[in-house]
Structure 1
Amino acid sequence: MLTKRALLLALAASTLAVTGCTTSVTDTTDNRPSATTEGVTKYPVSLENCGKTYTFTEAPKRVVVMNGGSVGEVSSLIALGVADRVVANAQSYGASDIPDRAAAIDALPTGKFTPNSLQDIPREAMLNQHPDLVISTTGGGFAADQGFATREELAATGANTYVPRSNCAVTGAVTGTPTIEDSYALLRDLGTIFDVPGRADRLIADSQRAIAETTALVADQPKQNVLLVFPGMGMGDSSDFSAIAAGGIWNDVIGKAGGVNPFNRDDGTTFVTISKEQLAVTPIDGLIVVNYRSPDIDAAAKRILEQFPQWSATKTNNYAVLSDSIYLGPSNDVAVQRIAKLVHPEQFR
């Protein structure tokens, strides 16, 4: 399991959006359909990812998914129905907003590697998996100075590599704002790579439809302040208020739900520490607490609310527990609806 500090750093990296990492796909030849694919992707297919071009001659069969403090990538593989290609998965969040998703992730092969200090797959262990595709949450997952196999080293063994387009940076520099569209881009890319583009399109269309329906219900309602908190997960600080969401994909999620993050930052800051004094004078209409292996996340939410009796959220005991749907991944529509119901319940009666 990740330490709280390492996890928070990884989660921060997984929400960053960096320009210059857009992905484009070029089909080059005909493809024969198989029982497990749709026969739509035309192999070899060339995919530009993080400024380099990778060519797939067939759908991957030995996939390794690195940790990175994310479950967005492995969740996408499960949602697309191609998780049977995974030979080693390092991602696990211990909870999910999708029924049975956490159990499905935990049931995947782990590769039985000994993790490094970042709780991820070190170079030799990675090469020993003999992958034909390695998926990392960020560009840092291929950094030699962190003890990882580089994209070049993996290419030399015949393995392609992939990073979600919003997370290409190795250093964590931010020059853009992550949105739900980045989740859709991930699904489209994986749909092409694994020859299931139809499944990807259906997942995206279902998500877009669900979000549009929710957004329409709250469109004319006043925006409500939503506080998104990661209880007890601050770096070097175990208080409930040392890891509050600032810039990230969650702001797009909150916005489409008819809310606003009062601590949103557009300067690349992902998490902030907010004093109790500042929180006391900030109107909060709804509280979201993020569950990461918490022994009692409801108790954490109630503990936070009790400290601010002046909040509207406290007066109505208005909180919700979310986990993976606020991050990059296939389930942002679930978070949009849950948050909308939290801050505009009258629209869903």
Structure 2
Amino acid sequence: MTVVALSAAALLLAGCGTGVSPDTDPDDTTDAVTIENCGREVTVDGAPEAAVGMHPAQTELMLRLGLADRLAGQAQTTAQALPDDVAELAEGVPVLGDMAPPSREDLLAVEPDFVYSPTTYEFSADQGFASIEQLDDAGAGVYVATGGCEDRRMTGKVTDLFTDLENLGEIFGVQDEATGLMEESQTTLDEVAEVTKDVEPLRVAQVYYEGGTLQAIGAGIEYDILNLAGADNVYTPDQDAFSDFFAATISPESLAAEEPDAIVFAAYDEEHEASTREYLKSTFPDMPAVQEDRLIVVSTSDMFPGTLGNISAVQQIAEQLYPDAF
């Protein structure tokens, strides 16, 4: 995955979606549910029977809600392995794409009635993907993770996931399961907050490195993840570099000057992690983060909007920043 692709698919896009309202036609025995999502209304007539998860994070969420028998497809399956405890549930679900979103033809071929995506990138018609309009015309409800619309990329929060769970609970009629996942996730966040409330915050820089380009991350869900982990962010949304975009290309000299106590970086596989570690260690041998061996890797998939990985990333980073507190 290139820096450009990551920015487009994993980092560039984000969103908003709130508001669930039942819309019952008295002449129809099936309740319709209307959701406001990314500035548009999504109406689903009855619980979907042929849903597609456009990324493993979304597929996992539906599996954990007990919807395995409602899945007509799963996409971008090689972008992230499903957790072992739910992977078996997806064995019979057709794979529509491996590293990239499915083509328009492949997605429409399974006749979905609901498509759940982490971002709006998966509906880029110029990339050969089915657009939201085309899916609407085919009768499929399209739902984008709350953190996955363009107008929320800079301000996304980890707790946007709870909006998604609440909405999915209403759409599929699995409110109890959705509430259970929300409560588990909130418990994890509360535990991390309790453990880290009295620590001396470490100054943490979040970066992404690939192909000789070093980027700093200073806004969006990634920024919120560090905040919730008890970090003192080196890069923040109020800095000029992040006034228009959550990431900015920086020079090695500027990062060295910040002297961060720790560095958090995203990697999409073991090779990428190894190359990033090597770059950081060889380029910044005198940096406190390197000297103290506080180079913390997170999966790029855990930074995707609308994923339980956002929660686990908070816990993972906090535990590695403050191991004595846990």
- Give yes or no for TM over 0.5: yes
- Structure 1's 95 and 286: CA in aligned 2 closer, same or farther, altered over 3 A? farther
Label 1:317 to 1:6 Cα distance change in 2 as closer, same or farther (>3 A): same
Aligned equivalents of 1:292, 1:93: Cα separation in 2: 10
1:326 aligns with 303
Structure 1 residues 83-232: aligned runs within 5 Å: 83-92=68-77, 94-95=79-80, 99-100=83-84, 107=91, 109-112=93-96, 119-169=100-150, 176-232=154-210
Cα distance between partner residues in 1 of 2:64 and 2:278:
33
1:45 to 33, 36, 44: 33
1:290 and 1:143 map into 2 onto residues whose CA distance is: 24
Cα 1:8–1:75, aligned 2, differ >3 Å: closer, same or farther?
A: farther
Question: What percentage of residue pairs aligned between the two structures are identical?
Answer: 30
**One-letter amino acid matched to 1:22:** G
Which residue of 1 is the match for residue 258 of structure 2?
282
For the Cα contact (< 8 Å) 1:280–1:308, is it kept in 2? Answer: yes
SS in 1 for 2:160: helix
1:238-290 Cα offsets, whole Å, 9 max, x none, are 02x52332322021111111103312335242222221111111122222232
Contact 2:48 2:70 in 1 (8 A): yes
Match of 1:87, SS state, is: strand
Pair 337,177 (structure 1): closer, same or farther in 2 beyond 3 Å: same
Residue aligning to 2:293: 317
Q: Which of 65, 71, 83 is 1:80 aligned to?
A: 65
Shift of 1:130: 0.8
SS of the equivalent of 1:228 reads strand
How far, CA to CA, are the matches of 1:88 and 1:129 in structure 2?
7
In structure 1, C-alpha distance between the alignment counterparts of 2:286 and 2:174, rounded to whole Å: 51
8 Å CA contact retained: 1:74, 1:91: no
**In 2, are the aligned partners of 1:93 and 1:292 still within 8 Å (CA)?**
no
3-state secondary structure, aligned to 2:214: coil
Contact kept in structure 1, 2:52 and 2:59, CA below 8 Å: no
The yes-or-no answer on 1:247 pairing with 2:219 is: yes
Give the Cα separation in 2 of the matches to 1:3 and 1:108. 31
Taking the aligned partners of 2:127 and 2:104, their CA distance within structure 1 comes to 9
Runs of 4 or more, structure 1, over 6 Å off, are: none
Which residue in the other structure is 2:270 paired with? 294
- Counterpart-to-counterpart distance in 1, 2:122 and 2:143: 10
Give yes or no for contact 1:89–1:108 (8 Å, CA) kept in 2.
Answer: no
1:285–1:343 contact (8 Å) kept in structure 2: no
Higher strand share: 2
Do the aligned partners of residues 343 and 248 (structure 1) sit closer, same or farther apart at CA in structure 2, a change above 3 Å counting? same
Note the C-alpha offset of 1:132. Answer: 0.7
Q: Unpaired segments of 5 or more residues in structure 1?
A: 31-41, 233-237
Q: Which amino acid aligns with 1:136?
A: S
Output the aligned Cα RMSD: 3.0
Aligned residues: 316
Residue in 2 that maps onto 1:22 = 17
Pairwise CA distance, 1:319: 2.4
Among 40, 44, 47, the alignment partner of 1:56 is 44
How much does 1:48 deviate?
2.3
SS in 1 for 2:271: coil
Q: Secondary structure at the match of 1:88?
A: strand
The code of the aligned residue for 1:210 comes to T
Structure 1 residue 126 displacement after superposition: 2.5
Counterpart of 2:10 in structure 1 is 11
1:73 is matched by which residue type in structure 2? Q
Q: Encode CA deviations 1:304-341: one digit per residue, 9 max, x unaligned.
A: 13432332222221223221333321232321122112
Provide TM-score, normalisation by structure 2.
0.83
The residue number in structure 2 matching 1:35 is none
2:319 corresponds to 1:341: yes
8 Å contact kept, 1:305–1:313: no
Distance in 2 (CA, whole Å) between partners of 1:320 and 1:12 is 19
State whether residues 11 and 304 of structure 2, in contact with CA within 8 Å, keep that contact through their aligned partners in structure 1.
no
